[in-house]
Chains A and B, each alone.
Chain A
């Protein structure tokens, strides 16, 4: 900027300063006319004299030219438009159909070009060829390409609210299906495979292009939208028991357990075998009943929790374990691999191989069938997720005059506030598809329309809005209003109650603090935290506080010296209580939390002597 501000007139009249040109972000030089340079470079690119990976952007406001050729730019292909005319001519289209022209040809011919985020700023893209006006520079090959891989598989996203699409995308990733065709050869730590996956009745072009029907992850459910005695309140759903018995939503869970014959310093080694009764920690004959002679379980054995799958013995933890007779005795430890608590299933496959360390490694894949039950999660492809609230036999569910019984009953309150019109449209499409026997297209912006479906439904004598008279399964009476019912693609998500359910009344405690363990895997308790404690104090229920924090946690009885306040002990040889400090025999038992005992011990380790001074409780 010059010191004196030039007047507006002067600025217009004066020659435009030379435009700085940046190549991959660094200044390369100056050019008198930036816009002309950009146009020129684009022409060269379209003539295939410059690489098609180059993008130019001219910023009119700052009069700068940016040329980018580096990696990492997201680019999207468009058809080039010149003077209001598409470069893609009908002749070319016939050639493409004949297989003479390929995509690469079109790119080299400058018919199709890739734009990056910056060059897009210099372009004016028409949504279709018909809409082209002279100002346009490109037109969209397909409007639905604005979606990414996951969202382009969802039907009718243009009818849903954006947050629901996001949710639908993330839930599609959690769906059970056929995740890999070679699943029976794989040893994934955890995998689910659906028994009878189906191709959706309403899919998209991209679904077909990705050939997802070969790896389907869901089933077409007959869904009725109505309430059902409060069992589908707040995103709950009612599911048909008879449908489940026919295989609806049924899946298998595969879980791989592994164990290794490890080497220990000193040349000792684990051994996979059926442990002999002398082994420390022997679990009894019953526990090893499934094992073959080599100590490894046989495939297709039915196992329940805590059954041993691989019998293994390890060398003792401490070498100097000397028996009473003074002879070093080789007492082995039991370290078998067993099924985790709460799990049941069958052994699917056994693999014996070698670990990277060179040790013998055994991998065992357990299979358990997961039948839908109360608490399992289901979702449509519109961000409409729900949990099974009740499973009811077919007889108790409503039916249509044709005898159609819903597989799932969705609560109507799930629809209006979430604005997932796509869900309803898919149901309508599913119905039309089932009636006509043709698969429907739900691709964004170009799929089958509501009118298409209404026409099919009307022609076949159905209500064009997808509503039908339902009859109450219990009383057999016709319901007062018509209900919306039809097939829609539902996914079973991998949040299964059977893998999450957890209760505890008694159980293991931590070694150091004697407090209950934490977490489902360790059969732990639920933390009664500070804020929960505050609530009980606020309510004034002191006894409950004491019960939670002491009686049901780490209560111990300790002896305390009446004289000096030090912890005392019971001497079993002399059979009397003793204080280690003043050797007094006047000690009293007190009930304290073990954590407090530890605290005092820790304070003592800092050379501070805390005394417990006792007095008779009034």
Chain B
């Protein structure tokens, strides 16, 4: 048995100096041309998540944030089979902003913000008055907050020191005399801020849906915020997943980002019924994550970091590269394929790389 395995191994290995990159690019690119513009529809939050070619482009370009980010949250194994628990978590996760549950009005004369709880909405979203109070206090900071029943008053400027003046303001003051204070402007600013303050749930998580899969219930929600979701007690932090590769890189590191890339690209190809060997996708993900941060394919990423001047010039922005190379007196040591084709040499790939050696007996 063991012998057979060792026999088989060399034939399953890629031979030395194979152009794996080109083969991977062709293997991914050719099915890419067949990708249909048809998008598949799902119920719930994932409905508008791009699939197919747009999604592939998004992944390869390594955008900061996907068009529609989705997070999948699983419960701890002991709770996973209970739908009600999942519903609870989903309910807890969904973020509620103050403006959704309360009327935020500004009282210009009194230089106050009046916050009135909308009881119906608040009840529906599970928001209580003290939660609102806490949220408001958090955002308002040192301004005076009074609460009476359903109503809250935030009075501006009480118990707050005026901000340190910048140099520019000081200069202006010296020239024109002290500027008239503009509390109204500040009031408007604060009102906006208060309206957007998080009352409940996890920041960034919008709609959520409880789904069943593999005999357990899990939550799919739009947005991502792994750090805060993990803090929820019932959530199994080891099984959380999001389609935002950048978010995964930030929270779990580059290796996780590589795996996420592989998984995301594979799922796009699978959805279109295109068969691409996983190793091609793995190579792509490796290339994108090799130096510790997620790089895009193209001018701003992988191709823009090629070693040779001529290789870069042959790709995009020819003149820019040539001029910069001239300014810095750059050398091109002809290490890449493109460079060698340009000057008309044998390319250092496959048969162009192997050399014959001879042992000379002394």
What is the interface of chain A, defined by CB distance below 8 A to chain B?
533-535, 537-543, 545-546, 549-550, 555, 591-593, 596, 599, 603, 606, 608-609, 613
Contacts and interface: CB of A to CB of B under 8 A. Distances in A.
Interface of B: 17-19, 22-23, 25-26, 322-323, 326, 331, 337, 341-353
Contact of A542 (B22, B323, B351): B351
A596 B323 CA distance: 17
A540 B344 contact: no
A546 B322 contact: no
B350 A539 contact: yes
A540 B337 contact: no
A100 to B, nearest CB: 64
B344 A538 contact: no
B17 A533 contact: no
A393 B351 CA distance: 50
A592 B339 CA distance: 12
Consensus secondary structure, chain B interface: helix
Contacts of A591: 344
B251 to A, nearest CB: 37
Contact of B22 (A534, A549, A596, A608): A534
A550 B352 contact: no
A537 B349 contact: yes
Contact of A546 (B25, B26, B345): B345
Given A534-B26, A603-B322, A596 B347 contact: no
B331 to A, nearest CB: 8
A606 B321 CA distance: 14
A540 B26 contact: no
Given A542-B348, A592-B343, 11 more contacts: A537-B347, A537-B350, A540-B17, A540-B352, A541-B351, A555-B344, A591-B344, A593-B343, A596-B343, A606-B323, A608-B322
A592 B343 CA distance: 6
Contacts of B323: 606, 608
A535 B352 CA distance: 15
B108 to A, nearest CB: 35
B349 A542 contact: yes
Contact of B342 (A538, A539, A541, A596): A596
A288 B322 CA distance: 54
B351 A537 contact: no
28 contacts: A534-B25, A534-B26, A535-B26, A537-B337, A537-B347, A537-B349, A538-B19, A538-B22, A539-B350, A540-B18, A540-B19, A540-B350, A541-B351, A542-B347, A542-B348, A543-B352, A545-B341, A545-B352, A549-B341, A592-B343, A593-B343, A596-B344, A599-B342, A606-B322, A608-B322, A608-B323, A608-B326, A609-B326
Contacts of B23: 538
B322 A540 contact: no
B19 to A, nearest CB: 5
B19 A537 contact: yes
A609 B323 CA distance: 11
Contacts of B352: 540, 542-543, 545-546
A538 B21 CA distance: 8
B338 to A, nearest CB: 10
A533 B23 CA distance: 12
A538 to B, nearest CB: 4
A560 to B, nearest CB: 11
A608 B328 CA distance: 11
B13 to A, nearest CB: 15
Nearest to B333: A613
B341 A533 contact: yes
7 nearest CB pairs, A to B: A540-B350, A542-B352, A593-B344, A608-B326, A538-B22, A550-B344, A542-B347
Contacts of B326: 608-609
Nearest to A593: B344
Contact of B26 (A538, A543, A608): A538
